[in-house]
A and B are shown apart, each in its own frame.
Chain A
Amino acid sequence: MGIVITGWALQSYLDLKHRHEFSDQEYQKNFRPDAERLKVFPNDPKFKVRGFWGPATKGNGVNVSDGYKMKWDSVGPGRNELRLCVAIMGPNAFLCQAYIKKGKNDLRECLNLERYITLICQGRYVDRGSL
């Protein structure tokens, strides 16, 4: 499976880096290798771990169509929960955005993901490269 880095994903990465939400070491040792597991999606056993991978939900248990979240806990000095929103569409996994889960932002970010997926379906996104 191809892994596409969208413009939204790059922007969110730059913002999280700016806020020092995670270290370069965490990125290189954990997040990037985990994201690269998407190359063999869904065959890597880690995709069966609920605390690591699951559908993105809009609340009331309604899933965002084609939308998933990769999850890491105890991230960075703030021991935060990091989420990476991914759209699985055809032969590609699109990295859409990453965010720190806090307060009530989870639902908002899932609605943002849903909008990104609509745009990706229409070919309306910025391709910033691949993993």
Chain B
Amino acid sequence: MKNTARKMETRDDRIMGIMKEMNRASLPNSFVLDVCLLARQDNSILGLMELWADESDKDERAEIIADLQDHIDDDKELPRDGKPAEASKISFHNLDSLASDIVGFKAKFKDLIDRHGGPVAVAKKVGMPQPSLSRLLNSGSMPRRSTLYKIAKALNLSETDVAGE
């Protein structure tokens, strides 16, 4: 989408235009709907959508989609009572062991995903964008419990099967 044409459009027109493009790109309907709702409230989300629409590089586009899914998850999960979520404090000296636990968990998780048809098939079953599942599998960050449960449900597994003990 070109900037000059964009200036003539209303905010809703821009969101609808990108929504159609996201549907054509076969992104899951629930993702497209959630991201459009968020973009109506937040300029940075709309900015990311526009960045995705303008981007030609496949890898960067995938990163934008994974970022948008993270923002959707944040919006659903973060508290709305004005108080920051309390999480266990991790001391710097424990970060190495945490990082190695995550790597160990992800190796097992990758096996499980492969046993169920691989990332593309599983992402489709779960209804999540494939770049988000790829990020979950390949990054060193902690997976969200909510995402693991969503995957467990879609694969007809117990939460323990997916998230471990």
Contacts and interface: CB of A to CB of B under 8 A. Distances in A.
Nearest to B43: A114
B42 A118 contact: yes
Interface stretch (B15-23, B25-33, B86-94, B119-127): B86-94
Contacts of B64: 108
Contacts, number: 92
Interface residues of A, number: 31
**Interface band, chain B:** 35 or more
Nearest to A124: B78
A111 B139 contact: no
B48 A111 contact: yes
Contacts of B98: 14
A108 B103 contact: no
B99 to A, nearest CB: 5
A104 B75 CA distance: 25
A18 B45 CA distance: 28
A30 interface: no
Interface of A: 7, 10-19, 58, 103-105, 107-108, 111-112, 114-115, 118-119, 122-129
